[in-house]
Amino acid sequence: MSLYPSHRANPAAARGHLRFHARPVAVSPGVTLGPSPGRRRGGLRVAASAEQGRRQVEVVYDREAKFNKLADQVDQSAGITRLNLFSPCKINVFLRITGKRPDGFHDLASLFHVISLGDTIKFSLSPSKSKDRLSTNVAGVPVDESNLIIKALNLYRKKTGTDNFFWIHLDKKVPTGAGLGGGSSNAATALWAANQFSGCIASEKDLQEWSGEIGSDIPFFFSQGAAYCTGRGEIVEDIRNPLPANLPMVLIKPPEACSTAEVYKVTYFYNMRFEMHCFTNKLVLQRLRLEQTSRNDPLALLKEITENGISQDACVNDLEPPAFDVLPSLKKLKKRIIAANRGDYNAVFMSGSGSTIVGIGAPDPPAFVYDDDDYKDVFVSEACFLTRNENEWYREPISSKATFSKEDLPPEVASVAD
């Protein structure tokens, strides 16, 4: 199929016919010369007929068919020059920390699932053979080589020996410091894009294995979208029964962000700023204590959720206690959502290392999120579970709605909320 839909935008205007009568030829009535009537070969249709003693040959030149054939040949020889891809985030439906590793990381066992909230990334081939150029709509997001998108492109060139460089624009909707894996998804999407531009010389398995070199969560996005992840998160096993796409959820994230490193190991500071702006006033020395984590068998949790659905008891997150120590307001938010729940949510839990609280079962937040000034800057988004087909990247659902904060509401609505 042509990459340029304008080639076929107006078939009627593009179609032209050239007809002429040839000299009569000796044919028996009912005998057809050449291809059968209506068959096209390279835009040329040849038909012959004999009726009532009059012999006629009609040649029809179909300009539209010829033009489309040439366009397809151009597309095939030129390759891809631009690509827009959806870069969805994920939630941890449950997250167990099972041990401390010699390399300083923690072993985990978690049900990761892609959801419909995501960024859009636009890739264009750059005439430069030395540098990528990244831009974004969000201030504060790095656009240099510290960004996982650039790291992913550098990794792909290193592994494959290709020399494609890109202009990239990141249209960001997933908040940072949210425990939603937005940066990891961006990196996976960049690897997928680079492979498409190079004619898919690497397999999905290759991309998944390579991606673990730059981030523990990145390999997950090369699953079908629902996977049981162990190790640092890089050991990915697709699950048989992804969660239903028609099960709604709401994401609620306060403006404060939680650094994953600070949740795993918090150092005491007072009235100091953290590099990852995790908590800026008062912090209590706290470490993730394995002896205080849940004793639930992660495989039993996986079986319960995939066979019986989401429930509060099954949505365990061992990072909640240290995250709530880092950010007490996050603990308060979760408690208020649970207290305000009138049967709308099957479960309320924190995703990843925070600071997003997820309510499964309804697309709307409790009323206090709109009514209370303490939550005027909160990030709110509805979402649903999402998967992908093999050899295709994730697609944003048509019904997906934009995210918003209270400040985004129209004046007449905001006044009611106030």
* Amino acid at the residue 90: K
| CA trace torsion 105, 295, 322, 359 (10° rounding) | 110
Q: Is 90 labeled as catalytic in the residue annotation?
A: yes
Q: What DSSP letter does each residue of 206-266 carry, written as one string?
A: HHHHHHTTT-SSGGGGGSSSEEEEEETTTEEEE-SSPPPTT-EEEEEE-S----HHHHHEE
- Rounded CA separation 347/361 (Å): 8
Q: Give dist(CA 145, CA 158) in Å, integer.
A: 14
Contacts of 349 by beta carbon, 8 Å cutoff, 6+ apart: 94, 312, 315, 316, 317, 320, 334, 357, 358
- Active site (annotated) includes residue 205: no
Ramachandran quadrant class, 330 (left: phi over 0; alpha: psi -120 to 50; beta: rest) = alpha
Cβ contacts of 141 within 8 Å, gap of 6 or more:
147, 170, 172, 176
Mapping DSSP to helix (H, G, I), strand (E, B) and coil, where does residue 373 land?
helix
Cβ contact 338:348 at 8 Å: yes
Tokens of 240: 């048989």
**Rounded CA gap, 248 and 361, in Å?**
5
**Residue 280 CA: distances (Å) to CA of 99, 258, 276, 331, 385:** 29, 11, 10, 17, 34
DSSP, collapsed to helix, strand or coil, labels residue 56 as: strand
**Interhelix angle for 148-160 vs 182-197, to 10°?**
40
Helix, strand or coil, per DSSP, at residue 41:
strand
Which residue has tokens 């401390």?
Answer: 100
Identified catalytic residue from 90, 172, 253, 334: 90
Q: What are the counts of helices (DSSP H) followed by strands (DSSP E) for the chain?
A: 11, 14
Catalytic residue among 62, 132, 217, 325: 217
- Which residues are tagged catalytic? 90, 217
